[in-house]
Amino acid sequence: MVNAITNNDANLTVADLAGTWRYSAPACKFESDDLLKAAGGEMVASTLKDKLDTYYQKAGITSSRVSFTFADTTMVMNYGSAKLEGYLVKDEPSGKFVVTFTLVGRIPVMVMDATITKSGNTMEILFDVEKLVNVLTTIASKTQSSTLQSITSLLDGYDGVLMGFELTKQ
């Protein structure tokens, strides 16, 4: 039942993610082993997703500006002209993916767990809200986006929430 709430896909592999995926909507889920908390958390997640949509639009997070490209274990997140490169592996025991953002070469600068689900040509990539705040802060510093800085302020107070992106395969 917990897997149904968090929507983990234990059979999904890194190879299943290959290709370019464009942003289509914000994604948000609540993660908890406590079913009562999870049920209430889903209502919070739904409300937060609506708020996040407004902020994402203001920040220019649109299908024409944001994409993820996966090839083998490498990945590139594009946000306008800014690029975050890295690689991706699956942690089999937990079923989560580990995303490592890198600098020139393969010097790791940020490592974070991601919950990734895929159904047909739609994928959700979700991060613990604290880790997503770190990614958005990095992008905001590169792009000088005050709206992204506002998003990080909004998200900073949520625990147990997974936030990220719904993507559509090109």
Domains in the chain, number: 1
Asked whether the beta carbons of 99 and 75 are under 8 A apart, the reply is: yes
Boundaries of domain holding 58: 2-169
Neighbours of 137 (CB within 10 A): 15
Mean per-residue pLDDT of the chain: 80
pLDDT at 2: 36
pLDDT in tens, 106-147: 788 888 899 999 999 999 999 887 776 676 677 767 777 777
CATH number at residue 33: 2.40.128
Predicted TM-score (pTM) of this structure: 0.76
